[in-house]
Amino acid sequence: MRKRKNRKLSEKFLQKKIKDLTNLEHVLVLQKGSGIKLFMQSFTSHELFADSYSGLIEAVVAVGERIGTGEKLRRLAYENYQVLIHDGKHVKGVCVMKDNPASNFLFDALTVFIKKFEGRFAGTLMEWNGRLDIFDSTIEILDEAFSTYLIFPICLSWDGNEENLSKLELNILRIARTMPEQYFTIPNLVVEVQKKIKKSELKILTAINDLIDRHFFITSC
């Protein structure tokens, strides 16, 4: 009974995780004090325009000065955005979202991301010379911390072997073969599966995630 309950909790968390990732618009790493942008990754076609960006940075820095260093993780409402801020030793991590998060996933991911960022670039941050290309490998840390494979395009890597597949998994793979594009996102695949199979979004998401773990889908082809 306990294992079943834990699995249900895990499945619901996966659903909220994807919802939070689709809500995420930008992730930034700023130098503490100066507010200089060291890294930025966008997950939307909506640009963070120069005036909005500079205003956001000022607001983030001001929050740190006003509240002090007691809390490492804070939330801020700025214009039409919801913002999460994590204070590291040398940098601030910032998540910019459209709406309030559905779970604690982004809070936890941002915390892990900044810890790993400062761990990798500890020496560089102490004596930074102004070069931004030094931080190019940050994308690897971000992908790991935020599980970005859940929202980035995937493609099918199935040879047609039907062994060790449940009926739902087999249906998902067959439907994936009919997708009009080679690359597609998990949310798009869920929509197509629900058109043909009467299963809940939660069950489909869980099955797709299991298939990804078993390499029936890959994030680059």
Q: What average pLDDT does this structure show over 78-98? A: 90
Least confident range of 17-21, 25-29, 71-75, 181-185? 71-75
Note the pTM of the prediction, 2 decimals.
Answer: 0.76
50 pLDDT higher than 70: no
- The number of distinct structural domains making up the chain is 2
Same domain for 36 and 59? yes
Q: Residue 146 half-sphere exposure, CB side, CA atoms within 13 Å? A: 30
CATH of the domain at 84: 3.30.450.50
Domain boundary among 90, 117, 150: 150
Q: What's the whole-number average pLDDT of the chain?
A: 85
Same domain for 70 and 162? no
Kindly give, in sequence order, each residue whose CB lies less than 8 Å from that of residue 42, ignoring residues fewer than 6 positions away.
25, 26, 48
Same domain for 112 and 23? yes
The encoded tokens of residue 48 equal: 């963070």
Give residue 36's domain range: 2-150
**DSSP annotation string for 139-177:** HHHHHHHHTGGGTS-BEE---S--TT--HHHHHHHHHHH
15 pLDDT higher than 60: yes
Confidence of residue 5 (pLDDT cuts 50, 70, 90): very low
Same domain for 50 and 114? yes
Sheet holding 81-87, edge to edge: 37-42, 24-31, 91-97, 81-87, 73-78
Give the model confidence (pLDDT) of 103-158 as tens digits. Answer: 999 999 999 999 999 999 999 998 899 999 999 999 999 999 999 888 888 999 99
Q: What are the beta bridge partners of residue 156?
A: 217
The pLDDT value recorded for residue 179 is: 93
Same domain for 76 and 173? no
Same domain for 30 and 112? yes
Sign of CA dihedral 138, 139, 144, 146: positive
Q: Which amino acid belongs to residue 190? A: V
